Amino acid sequence: MFPAPHYREQLSLMLSDVLDDLGVNKRIVMKRRKLMKMEETMETIAFRSARTNLTSYILGSQIEGTTTMGLESDIDRVNFDNNVNVIQDLSEWELGKKNYLMVQDENTTPGYCFLHLFRSDEPLPATEIPNNHQRSERSKILCKNTTQNPFEVFGLKQHGPSITKQGQHNARDEDTVHHAYPCKSWPQPASAWLERQGTGGWPTNEMRRFAARKRCFVVPVGSKVSVYPELEWRLSTSLAERYLMFNFNITQIRCFVVLKMILKSFLIPQGVINISSFMIKTVLFHCIENTESSLWVDNNLLTCLIFCLQELHNCVKNEHCSHFIISENNLMAGQFRFETKNELLGNISDFIQNDRHSLLRIDTDDLGYRLKIKLNIVPKKVYSSLTSLEITSLELYMNFAFTISKSLLVILMSVQYTNMMHNTGERHNDLHTKVKFLEPFIYTTYGSALASSSIGKNNEILPEAFNMLSNGVNSDVSSGRLKLASVFYSIGEMEKAEEILRQTEQKYNSLYVIPICSCVSGIPETISEDIARVCNEHNDDCIKHIVAFCVHFLRLEINCVPRELQYEVFRSTKNDMIHRLPSDIWMEWAVVDSLPFLYFLQYKIYSHLQRQQEKQQALNNLMRTTFTEKNLKHRETTLNILGQCMEQENRPNDALHYYIYSLKERPRNNAAKIHLCRLLCKCYMV
Name beta bridge partners: 117. Answer: 100
What's the confidence (pLDDT) of residue 682? 80
Residue 158: pLDDT band (50, 70, 90) is very low
Q: What is the largest CA-CA distance in the chain?
A: 93
What letter does residue 109 receive in the DSSP assignment? Answer: P
Provide the sign of the torsion angle of the four alpha carbons 190, 191, 193, 194, taken in this order. positive
Residue from 279, 374, 273 nearest 323 by CA: 279
Contact 102, 113 (CB under 8 A): yes
Provide the pairing of β-strand 174-182 with 217-219.
antiparallel
Contact 479, 548 (CB under 8 A): yes
Residue 171: pLDDT band (50, 70, 90) is low
What's the confidence (pLDDT) of residue 468? 94
Q: Taking the mean position of all CA atoms in its chain, how far away is CA 616?
A: 42
Work out the burial of residue 281: count CB atoms within 10 Å of its CB; fewer than 13 is exposed, 13-18 middle, 19 or more buried: buried
Contact 405, 517 (CB under 8 A): yes
> Angle at Cα 61 formed by Cα 71 and Cα 384, nearest 5°?
40
Query: What percent of the chain clears pLDDT 70, i.e. is strictly above it?
Result: 91
Question: How large is the average pLDDT for residues 433-445?
Answer: 82
Span 399-422, pLDDT tens digits: 999 999 999 988 888 776 655 444
What's the confidence (pLDDT) of residue 388? 92
Kindly tell me the number of DSSP H helices and DSSP E strands found in the chain: 25, 16
What's the confidence (pLDDT) of residue 663? 96
Span 41-77, pLDDT tens digits: 999 988 888 788 999 999 999 999 999 999 999 899 9
Work out the burial of residue 452: count CB atoms within 10 Å of its CB; fewer than 13 is exposed, 13-18 middle, 19 or more buried: buried
| Architecture category of domain 1-24+248-383 in CATH | Orthogonal Bundle (1.10)
Contact 63, 33 (CB under 8 A): yes
What's the confidence (pLDDT) of residue 210? 92
What's the confidence (pLDDT) of residue 606? 98
Cα dihedral 86, 92, 98, 104 in deg (nearest 10): 40
Name beta bridge partners: 592. Answer: 551
Contact 485, 502 (CB under 8 A): no
Contact 253, 24 (CB under 8 A): yes
Question: How large is the average pLDDT for residues 242-266?
Answer: 96
What's the confidence (pLDDT) of residue 425? 39
Residue 3: pLDDT band (50, 70, 90) is very low
What letter does residue 550 receive in the DSSP assignment? Answer: P
H/E stretch holding 219 = strand 217-219
* Contacts of 621 by beta carbon, 8 Å cutoff, 6+ apart: 599, 602
SS (H, E, C) 296-334: CCHHHHHHHHHHHHHHHHHHHHHCCCECCCCCCCECCCC
Question: How large is the average pLDDT for residues 289-312?
Answer: 95
Cα dihedral 191, 193, 196, 201 in deg (nearest 10): -130
Q: Taking the mean position of all CA atoms in its chain, how far away is CA 599?
A: 32
pTM assigned to the model: 0.88
Instruction: For residues 334 and 227, give the distance between their C-alpha atoms in angstroms, rounded to a whole number.
Output: 13
In the chain, where does the domain assigned CATH 1.10.1410.40 lie?
1-24+248-383
What's the confidence (pLDDT) of residue 157? 46
Average pLDDT, the chain: 89
What's the confidence (pLDDT) of residue 161? 53
Span 500-545, pLDDT tens digits: 999 999 999 878 899 999 998 767 767 889 999 999 999 999 999 9
Residue 179: pLDDT band (50, 70, 90) is confident
What's the confidence (pLDDT) of residue 273? 65
What's the confidence (pLDDT) of residue 95? 96
Point out the least confidently predicted range of 307-316, 433-442, 558-567.
433-442
What's the confidence (pLDDT) of residue 199? 83
Instruction: For residues 299 and 9, give the distance between their C-alpha atoms in angstroms, rounded to a whole number.
Output: 5
Residue 426: pLDDT band (50, 70, 90) is very low
Span 656-677, pLDDT tens digits: 999 999 999 999 999 999 999 9
> Angle at Cα 35 formed by Cα 32 and Cα 38, nearest 5°?
145
Residue from 119, 80, 81, 73 nearest 99 by CA: 119
Helix H segments across 354-387?
355-359, 367-374
Work out the burial of residue 614: count CB atoms within 10 Å of its CB; fewer than 13 is exposed, 13-18 middle, 19 or more buried: middle
SS (H, E, C) 622-668: HHHHHHHCCCCCCHHHHHHHHHHHHHHCCCHHHHHHHHHHHHHHCCC
Residue from 489, 539, 218 nearest 469 by CA: 489
Q: How far is CA 408 from CA 173, 398, 587, 594, 620, in A?
A: 20, 15, 15, 16, 32
Span 358-405, pLDDT tens digits: 999 999 999 999 999 999 999 888 777 889 999 999 999 999 999 999
Residue 646 has pLDDT above 90, yes or no: yes
What's the confidence (pLDDT) of residue 1? 34
